[in-house]
Chains A and B, each alone.
Chain A
Amino acid sequence: MDLPGYYEYYCGVKIIAGHDALEKIPGLLQDLHASRPMIVTDKGVAGAGLVDIVLGAVKDQLTIGAVSDDVPPDSDLRVVNRLAALYREQGCDALIAVGGGSVMDTAKGINIVVSEDADDLMKFSGAGALKRPLKPLVAVPTTAGTGSEVTLVAVVKDHERHLKMAFVSYFLLPDVSILDSRMTLSLPAAITAATGMDAMTHAVEAYYGLSKNPLSDATALAAIRLISGNLVEVTRNPADREARLAMANAAALAGMAFSNSMVGMVHTLGHATGSVCGVPHGACMAILLPYGLEYNRHKREAVMGELLFPMGGSDVFARTPKEQRVDRVIAYIRQMNQDLHDASGGRHARFFKEVLDREGKRAVARERLPDIARTALGDGSIFYNPEDLDYDDFLMVLEAAWEGVALDPDRIRK
Chain B
Amino acid sequence: MFQPQSAYAFYSPTKVLSGNKALENLPVELDGMNAVKPLILTTPVLSARGMEKVMESAFGDSNLTIGVFAGVPSQPDLRLIRELYGLYRDNGYDAIIALGGGPVMDTAKALNVAVSGRPEDLESLADRNPLTKKLRPLAAILNLDLSGCEMTRYASLGSLSLTSPALIPDLMIIDSRTVPAEEHKTMAATALMSMTQAVEACLHPARNPLTDAYAYGAARFIMENITNVLKNPSERKGRLALANAAFFAQTSFDNLAPGMVYELGMAISRSCQTNPGLIMGLLLPHFLLLEMRKEIATRNDLYLFIGGPEAFAGTMAEASSRKAVDRIVEILLELQSLVVDFPRSIRDLGIKKEDLEGLIVQGSAAGVRGEYDPQDIRNILEKAWETRF
Name A residues whose Cβ lies closer than 8 Å to a Cβ of B.
1, 3-12, 14-21, 24, 31, 33, 128, 131-133, 170, 213-215, 217-219, 221-222, 225-226, 242, 245-246, 249, 253, 306, 309-310, 314-315, 317-318
Tell whether B221 is near chain A: CB-to-CB under 8 Å: yes
Given A214-B217, A225-B2, A310-B1; 6 other pairs, CB 8 A cutoff? A5-B19, A9-B16, A17-B5, A17-B208, A170-B15, A245-B4
Instruction: Tell me the bound Cα distance from A15 to B7 in angstroms.
Output: 10
Contact across chains for A222 and B209 when beta carbons are under 8 A apart: yes
CB distance from B342 to the nearest CB of A (A): 26
Contact across chains for A314 and B312 when beta carbons are under 8 A apart: yes
Q: Which chain A residues border B1 with CB–CB below 8 Å?
A: 222, 225, 310
Quick check: which of B111-119, B240-248, B329-337 contacts chain A, the rest being far away? B240-248
Name B residues whose Cβ lies closer than 8 Å to a Cβ of A.
1-2, 4-22, 31-34, 130, 132, 134, 208-210, 212-214, 216-217, 220-221, 224, 237, 240-241, 244, 248, 308-309, 312-314, 317
Contact across chains for B132 and A33 when beta carbons are under 8 A apart: yes
5 contacts between A and B (CB under 8 A): A5-B20, A8-B18, A14-B10, A31-B130, A221-B216
Q: Which chain B residues border A8 with CB–CB below 8 Å?
A: 15-18
Instruction: Tell me the bound Cα distance from A132 to B22 in angstroms.
Output: 23
Contact across chains for B16 and A215 when beta carbons are under 8 A apart: yes
Contacts A10-B15, A19-B6; is A253 near B210 (CB within 8 Å)? yes
CB distance from B244 to the nearest CB of A (A): 6
Contact across chains for A7 and B2 when beta carbons are under 8 A apart: no
From A316, which residue of chain B is reached at the shortest CB distance? B313
Contact across chains for B32 and A131 when beta carbons are under 8 A apart: yes
Instruction: Tell me the bound Cα distance from A133 to B34 in angstroms.
Output: 11
Among the listed B4, B8, B31, B221, which residue makes an inter-chain contact with A226, where contact means beta carbons less than 8 Å apart?
A: B4
Q: Which chain A residues border B17 with CB–CB below 8 Å?
A: 6-8
Contact across chains for A16 and B4 when beta carbons are under 8 A apart: no
Contact across chains for A1 and B9 when beta carbons are under 8 A apart: no
Instruction: Tell me the bound Cα distance from A33 to B166 in angstroms.
Output: 14
Q: Which chain B residues border A33 with CB–CB below 8 Å?
A: 132
Sorted nearest first, the 5 A-B pairs with minimum C-beta distance are: A18-B7, A6-B19, A218-B213, A318-B313, A10-B15
Q: Which chain B residues border A1 with CB–CB below 8 Å?
A: 217, 220-221, 224, 308
Contact across chains for A131 and B237 when beta carbons are under 8 A apart: no
Q: Which chain A residues border B314 with CB–CB below 8 Å?
A: 318
Contact across chains for A249 and B4 when beta carbons are under 8 A apart: yes
From B317, which residue of chain A is reached at the shortest CB distance? A314
Q: Which chain B residues border A128 with CB–CB below 8 Å?
A: 31-32
Q: Which chain B residues border A213 with CB–CB below 8 Å?
A: 18
CB distance from B317 to the nearest CB of A (A): 8
CB distance from B17 to the nearest CB of A (A): 5
